[in-house]
Amino acid sequence: MSEQLKTAIVRIFQSKTQMVVGTGFLIAPTQVMTCAHVVANALGIEATDFPPAEAEVTLDFPFVHMGHFLSGRIVCWKPVHEGNSTPPADGEDIAVLELPEPFSEKVHALLLVSPRMPQGRSFQVCGFPQGYQQTGMWVDDGRLQEEVATGWFQLKAEEVPGRFIEQGFSGAPIWDIEAGGVLGMVVAADRDPQVKTAFMIPSVILTKAWPPLAKPYRGLSAFREEDEPFFYGRDTFLDDELLSAVRTKPLVAVIGSSGSGKSSVVFA
């Protein structure tokens, strides 16, 4: 699994009980994205309500420093519409939390990706369901299915045995193994665990919900020198592999699928 993915994952806690209520991930040095219903659970309010202006959410980065609690201020709130028991038609259920300062130099924001044909792509995801709230639980046998009428995408387990995405995964980033980026965010799972089906808000909708993501999110356009503040996640490859290769070999080929970041890495 990607070390960058692990370090960018956060657990979100219920303020009174300190129980884990969901997951989130770093999208900028001081910003965490998750589901609005996760934040509502953390604050003890209804998913359709608006949180108090002074409300803050408790979280930590469990794969970096478990139990080092931080507070996030709500800066984006796209709640589920009242009366909707099924996915809302315009893809809401998104929240962004602002941290007072960057947490650690070991943690970098995750890059959102949007392949032209996402169906069938394999992914990894980590959540904190009951029984795994301390350790986390990884799912790496899922594939992206078709888009549903809400704009969300269906997620399906390839293998019937074993556990799949369930309560405790909401807000988790869906990591595209091939492209090395976030395809979207877990938002819902079927109540019947035997069905092994869940839903994802795709990166396109996440970007529209939080406009600051639009600048670093360049789709299939390569990152340029002026985009340096938004280029994350390739440090190990650049420093340990690519630079070493070009210093010792007369020709180096950078190969990857469309949209995986080849040109951005070369320009970096």
Q: What is the 3-state secondary structure (H, E, C) of 18-33?
A: CCEEEEEEEEECCEEE
Q: Which residue has the higher pLDDT, 235 or 184?
A: 184
Tell me: pLDDT of 193 over 90.
Answer: no
> Lowest mean pLDDT: which of 87-91, 96-100, 139-143?
87-91
What is the pLDDT averaged over residues 153-177?
Answer: 88
pLDDT band at 266 (very low <50, low <70, confident <90, very high): confident
Q: How many CA atoms lie within 13 A of 115 on its CB side?
A: 21
Q: Is the dihedral of CA 113, 116, 120, 121 positive or negative?
A: negative
Q: Where is 7: in which H helix or E strand?
A: helix 3-8
Q: Quick one: average pLDDT of 19-48? A: 95
pLDDT above 90 coverage of the chain, percent: 48
Q: At 48, phi and psi to the nearest 5?
A: -90, -5
Name the pTM for this structure.
0.77
Q: What is the pLDDT of residue 1?
A: 61
Residue 101's pLDDT band (boundaries 50, 70, 90)?
A: very high
* Residues 117-152 pLDDT 10s: 788 888 999 999 999 999 999 998 888 998 888 889
- Position 259 scores a pLDDT of 67
Q: Token pair of 27, please?
A: 């999208």
**CB-CB contact of 43 with 51 (8 Å):** yes
Backbone angles phi, psi at 98, to 5 degrees: -105, 125
- φ, ψ dihedrals at 229, nearest 5°: -60, -20
